[in-house]
Structure 1
């Protein structure tokens, strides 16, 4: 499907201070300005798109890591095509992609070692056992910035998608970026392209800011989620543009019995000024892996174009956990299959087993101030028998129907809620007249008040 680039708000001018410009940047103590700066070429890397630079990236990070505690360190990737296998980041560190810089992921699977599955998943997401390493990774880090002048991180995922469709993979595909047990993360002004699977996966993290990021994948590529906060707290996603073969944003917290045992919710999450194109998935999904719980998610001023659904709840018997205190307002939706979609029969389970008594709690879901046009169906709302989704509030909604719209505009089972000023008329389960839906007045404080502004 041909897509038209939607202008994003002006990208945040985020850069770093080279040592010679520290005085102009008010010194190395200023947040994000690093004292120790080096280029990847200082470590022998060649930006011809053919030379494998895995050793150069590893050497660069190791060298800068030794200096990072004394004023921070930055690795600059200049213009060129820099082919490499997976590599790790370090603390008090910036990965800076200059204009025209493109980091290319190796397409040779021998360059991708196997790593342990996530404890909240118990196994690989695609296949049992371990999983392939992630392209850019890190664990137990603090103060990490990935930024630049809109340089590109290219996962070159076609080889992975082909093998996935052909069922030739023994292990789960790696993600383009995964950070574990880390805090104070900033990802801004970078383009992520063609990930083997999920793109950005902050997991067991706190205080994460993702701002001014572009994520692109073919709309039929498998499981190329845009941004997946997973068992993470205080996450801010703003001013991003995502074209995806799966959910643009998917908030997660572990899978069935493993997520229940790990017991780390995703909470205090802000998603605003997102533009999403995903014809087969959601603009924002809550789940389906939500067994550690999801709460206090605030989504506002978001746009979806040619997307299957807006903010979708995905759960099922065996998931356990909860999805509650969800606040959504001011959505602009254009060409949608469903405006509202809740799913209580998500059937994928690790090792084909789950606890039939592990029932999810879904309550306190608020949608307000929604405009949608060219809509096939207003609402498909499916809770779980003997475990209904409750506390649903929908107010001030106009859904203009497509020429081929369904005659039945609402299909509701096992849900309870209220509505006000909703067109077309809601189903009886949502027929009670309610007040305008809630949205928290107090702003969540996440990340720095302003992103670092330093200059090379």
Structure 2
């Protein structure tokens, strides 16, 4: 009887929502929601100054009761909606209409402290706990963040200033972090000025990030675009990122904590990305890669005024592995390095990193690369007594900048083969090879089409 009453109560709450869903995506588990409410239904005011934290919390709590009755969508209409951090729920869509902007509170008291990630052991900036993330959730399934290109604005300048002034005791929060969740879609939304990393799916599976724009000043600290972390089956496509750090950074935990947690990032597709990041990489693998990274497929990506293309970052104490990486079809314009591997990356969580924890880096494939206005073709640095092996580079043309380095390749502790590469590669990579591999079978990640829903 109690269960029956609870079901009736949930149905009563859901019944007040008006279903405005149109279209659909067939058999996809993530589609249009049966129940729809606006944030204004919970007393929110979109004037850019009224704090709406309680309204967002109440909306998500109420709509979570619709999860087993067709799910729910929360619509944020045009306006500026100031709020502190809030959580999402399962079988839920956060829909930002055209002209909608969710503004993160700049009052640090609105950002409670939370535990560090177990695969990091401490906050990334500082020891101990960390500030909460702006939009968050854990153990969720079937979550969509989408809309008509509305904006989520982290208003990060106050955080960047305090970070530079060394006034922060704890690690900055991220703009979006989902933990232990599956069937996630983020599409047609703009993320602006995150306090630190922007999108951080962690311990997640089946994540689709499509048609997303991420913007931050190019000198803002650690404003990574998208960081899949110990996550599997992640698809990133058709995104545009301007960043003060790596546009994409695939991670899997930090030194001994990541080794112990032992959850790799794997089966990751990155395609049709456009990146601008003058001081960092278009795609980085690491540096926190202690749980391992494997089966990463990057193709048809563009970088403009970016430090490097696909960079591997590791070092003694990291352990783990980076293997089976397939890159093809890069178009690069104004680059410091086309190819960069780093085996001496520092930044350890504490003083207990194991110097015997050496990473395995092997099976790295690059093909069909065109680059112009290049300072240096390759800086390839493995680890003494732990060389990076199985490197393949084929069909590459790097046109040099007027002030290009005289030495175009600098290679240590790496082994591999090349074919049809200009400028002529270093001796360590000069063995003749065939065109580099790229998997023929496509990874199936997420629904075949994005949900076509109008609320």
Q: Same fold (TM over 0.5)?
A: yes
Counterparts of 1:109 and 1:23, CA distance in 2: 40
* Distance in 1 of aligned mates of 2:346 and 2:446: 36
User: Is contact 1:36–1:68 with CA below 8 Å preserved after alignment?
Assistant: no
Q: Does residue 1:69 correspond to 2:81, yes or no?
A: no
Q: For 1:182-261, list aligned pairs within 5 A.
A: 182-261=181-260
What TM-score, normalized by structure 2, do the two folds share?
A: 0.95
1:106 alignment counterpart: 105
Whether 1:92 and 2:91 are equivalent positions in the alignment is yes
CA spacing shift, 1:69–1:275, aligned 2, 3 Å: same
Q: Secondary structure of the residue that 1:328 maps to in structure 2? A: strand
Report if aligned partners of 2:22, 2:32 keep a CA contact under 8 Å in 1.
no
Q: CA contact under 8 A between 1:28 and 1:71: conserved in structure 2?
A: no
Is this contact kept in 2: 1:275–1:303, CA < 8 A? yes
Cα distance in 2 between the residues matched to 1:389 and 1:408: 21
Distance 1:25 1:386 in 2: 55
Cα shift readout 1:319-368 (whole Å, capped 9, x = no counterpart): 00000000000000000000000000001100133100000000000000
Structure 1 CA distance for aligned equivalents of residues 248 and 28 of structure 2: 34
The 8 Å contact of residues 327 and 365 in structure 1, kept in 2 or not, is answered as yes
Call closer, same or farther: CA 1:95–1:393 in 2, change over 3 Å: same
C-alpha deviation, 1:141, in angstroms: 0.1
Compared CA separation, residues 24 and 189, structure 1 to 2 (3 A): closer
| Inter-partner Cα distance in structure 2 for 1:376 and 1:81 | 43
Give per-residue Cα distances to partners, 1:199-245, cap 9 Å, x unaligned. Answer: 00000000000000000000000000000000000000000000000
Q: Counterparts of 1:371-382 in structure 2 under 5 Å?
A: 371-382=370-381
- In structure 2, the residue matched to 1:133 is 132
Distance 1:21 1:74 in 2: 10
Shift of 1:19: 4.2
Deviations 1:270-304 (A, max 9, x none): 00000000000000000000000000000000000
Distance in 1 (CA, whole Å) between partners of 2:96 and 2:27 is: 20
1:268 is the counterpart of 2:267: yes
The 1:26/1:422 distance shift into structure 2, 3 A limit, reads closer
Local SS of the residue matching 1:366: strand
Aligned partner of 2:287 in structure 1 is 288
CA offset digits 1:343-400 (Å, max 9, x no partner)? 0000110013310000000000000000000000000000000000000000000000
Secondary structure at the aligned position of 2:60 is classed as helix
- Aligned partner of 1:180 in structure 2 is 179
Question: Would the alpha carbon gap of residues 314 and 28 (structure 1) be closer, same or farther in structure 2, given more than 3 Å must change?
Answer: closer
Instruction: Report Cα offsets for 1:7-30 as digits up to 9, x if no partner.
Output: xxxxxxxxxxx9454576599998
CA deviations over 1:402-449 (Å, ceiling 9, x no partner)? 000000000000000000000000000001000000000000000000
1:25/1:419 CA distance change after superposition, 3 Å? closer
Q: State the alpha-carbon separation in 2 of the partners of residues 454 and 443 from structure 1.
A: 27
Question: CA separation in 2, counterparts of 1:27 and 1:326?
Answer: 33
Q: Distance in 2 between matches of 1:410 and 1:187?
A: 39
Root-mean-square deviation over aligned CA pairs: 1.4
* Contact 2:226–2:249 under 8 Å retained in 1: yes
Q: Report if aligned partners of 1:29, 1:71 keep a CA contact under 8 Å in 2.
A: no
Residues 22 and 453 of structure 2 are in contact (CA less than 8 Å); yes or no, is this contact kept in structure 1? no
Task: Note the residue ranges of structure 2 that are not aligned, 5 or more in a row.
Answer: 1-16
SS at match of 1:352: coil
Could you tell me which residue of structure 1 aligns to residue 309 of structure 2? 310
Aligned residues: 439
Cα distance change, pair 22–76 in 1 and its aligned pair in 2 (3 A): closer
* Bigger mean CA offset, 64-73 vs 334-343: 64-73
Between the aligned partners of 1:95 and 1:383, the Cα distance in structure 2 is: 44
The residue matched to 1:350 in structure 2 has which SS? coil
Q: Distance in 2 between matches of 1:47 and 1:299?
A: 40
Question: Structure 1 residue runs of 4+, over 6 Å off?
Answer: 26-30
Q: CA deviation at 1:455?
A: 2.0
Q: What does residue range 137-148 of structure 1 map to in structure 2 within 5 Å? A: 137-148=136-147
Structure 1 unmatched ranges of 5 or more: 1-17
Distance 1:373 1:412, change over 3 A: same
Distance across 1 between alignment mates of 2:28 and 2:353: 50
Q: Output the CA distance in 2 between the equivalents of 1:198 and 1:186.
A: 18
Displacement of 1:67 in angstroms is 1.4
CA–CA separation in structure 2 for the residues paired with 1:172 and 1:455: 37
SS in 2 for 1:110: helix
Tell me, in whole angstroms, the C-alpha distance in 1 between the residues paired with 2:70 and 2:369: 47
